[in-house]
């Protein structure tokens, strides 16, 4: 009887050891985009920024909060490449300066009763329904991009497409702690360069958590001389089944000098970009 107990105890330990080994072996995964034509995702992006700038020798501080609701649809799929067309459905922006606060809400016509908001709306309202298209491979490398509808709003377009809503994945399987690099392409006609370094932090069920750090650089914007240097850091959670973003929280720290008509306007931007995504169909 005692021998039987020892036998069953040894057997259970062996089975448990094998189970744990199997579980740890599953901690290596390959991340890639696995989408189908017709897939539709809805994004909600919140951009919370503190902007300090110099104007006429005076230092001014602007608090800005922007909310975007966007829809992205996989409009084509060919082997490892797919095309995503994204459109802005709604924008809400709140700005605070000199103790005053104004709010533009594309879904609230009464917000336009404020003359200052109505002026802002002349620019932002053009973005509602505006589309941009990206052709990507299944590892997140952008092959083509068309954002011509954002030609008058490059700063907003760069924020939307600067790497908070998708990642570049490495070849092959990776495990927790593995790192890799990837370049993010904001816009085709943009001088902005975004270089990212990723680390796989956690795998939990059908989700993977990725840490990221990166740098942002630019030398011109819309033909104006611009020196922009910045850093980004944060985390994103993605689906291990589709590679698609579930949530990201990204911190931005940016310093810039904009030259116009022989004058230089320095500014610093500190902000957080929070993005969530949900598959609609």
Q: Are strands 81-97 and 58-78 parallel, antiparallel or unpaired?
A: antiparallel
Tell which residue, 139, 141, 36, has the closest CA to residue 78: 36
Phi and psi of 11, rounded to 5°? -60, -45
Q: Residue 185 domain-assigned?
A: yes
Helix, strand, coil share (%) of the chain residues, nearest 5: 20, 55, 25
Tell which residue, 195, 177, 175, has the closest CA to residue 185: 195
CA distances (Å), 66 to each of 50, 106, 243, 273, in order?
12, 12, 26, 9
Q: Find residue 228's DSSP bridge partners.
A: 218, 256
Tell which residue, 51, 72, 121, has the closest CA to residue 92: 121
Tell which residue, 229, 47, 265, has the closest CA to residue 156: 47
- Alpha carbon distance 212, 222 (integer Å): 29
- Alpha carbon distance 140, 78 (integer Å): 14
pLDDT of residue 152: 55
pLDDT of residue 160: 55
Q: Residue 17 domain-assigned?
A: no
pLDDT of residue 4: 45
The total of other beta-carbon atoms located within 10 Å of residue 220's CB is: 15
Cβ burial, residue 46 (10 Å; 0-12/13-18/19+): middle
Q: Residue 231 domain-assigned?
A: yes
Q: Residue 16 domain-assigned?
A: no
In the chain, which stretches have pLDDT less than 70? Answer: 1-26, 150-164, 185-191, 220-225
Q: Residue 170 domain-assigned?
A: yes
Burial 157-178, CB ≥16 within 10 A → b, else e: bbbbbbbbbbbbbbeeebeeee
Q: Residue 275 domain-assigned?
A: yes
Q: Residue 3 domain-assigned?
A: no
Specify the residue for token string 């009464």: 110
Q: What is the CATH number of the domain that holds 43?
A: 2.30.230.10
pLDDT of residue 224: 61
- Alpha carbon distance 227, 258 (integer Å): 7
- The kind and range of the H/E element at 215 are strand 207-221
Q: To 10 degrees, the CA torsion angle through 60, 92, 218, 260?
A: -50
Identify the domain containing residue 252 by its residue range: 31-279
pLDDT of residue 12: 45
pLDDT of residue 198: 96
The total of other beta-carbon atoms located within 10 Å of residue 41's CB is: 21
Q: How many domains is the chain built from?
A: 1
pTM (two decimals): 0.82
Q: Residue 167 domain-assigned?
A: yes
Phi-psi region of 140 (alpha: psi -120 to 50; beta: other; left: phi over 0): left
pLDDT of residue 249: 95
pLDDT of residue 1: 46
Q: Are strands 193-204 and 179-184 parallel, antiparallel or unpaired?
A: antiparallel
pLDDT of residue 22: 43
């Amino acid at each position: 009887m005692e021998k039987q107990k020892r036998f069953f105890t040894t057997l259970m330990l062996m089975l448990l050891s094998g189970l744990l080994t199997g579980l740890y072996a599953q901690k290596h995964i390959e991340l890639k985009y696995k989408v189908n034509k017709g897939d539709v995702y809805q994004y909600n992006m919140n951009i919370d920024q503190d902007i300090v700038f110099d104007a006429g020798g005076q230092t001014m501080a602007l608090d800005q909060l922007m909310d975007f609701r966007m829809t992205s649809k996989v409009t084509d799929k060919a082997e490892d490449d797919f095309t995503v067309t994204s459109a802005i459905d709604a924008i809400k922006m709140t700005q605070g300066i000199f103790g005053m606060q104004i709010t533009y809400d594309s879904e609230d016509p009464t917000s336009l009763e404020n003359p200052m908001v109505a002026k802002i709306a002349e620019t932002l309202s053009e973005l509602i329904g505006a589309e941009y298209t990206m052709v990507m491979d299944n590892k997140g490398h952008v092959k083509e991009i068309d954002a011509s509808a954002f030609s008058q709003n490059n700063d907003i377009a760069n924020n939307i497409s600067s790497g908070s809503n998708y990642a570049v994945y490495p070849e092959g399987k990776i495990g927790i702690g593995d790192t890799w690099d990837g370049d993010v392409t904001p816009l085709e006609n943009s001088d902005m360069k975004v270089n990212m370094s990723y680390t796989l932090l956690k795998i939990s069920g059908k989700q993977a958590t990725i840490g990221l750090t990166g740098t942002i650089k630019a030398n011109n914007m819309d033909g104006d001389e611009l020196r922009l240097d910045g850093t980004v850091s944060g985390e994103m959670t993605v689906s291990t089944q589709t590679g698609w973003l579930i949530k990201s929280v990204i911190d931005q720290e940016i310093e810039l000098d904009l030259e116009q008509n022989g004058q230089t306007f320095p500014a610093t931007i500190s902000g957080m970009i929070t993005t969530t995504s949900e598959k609609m169909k």
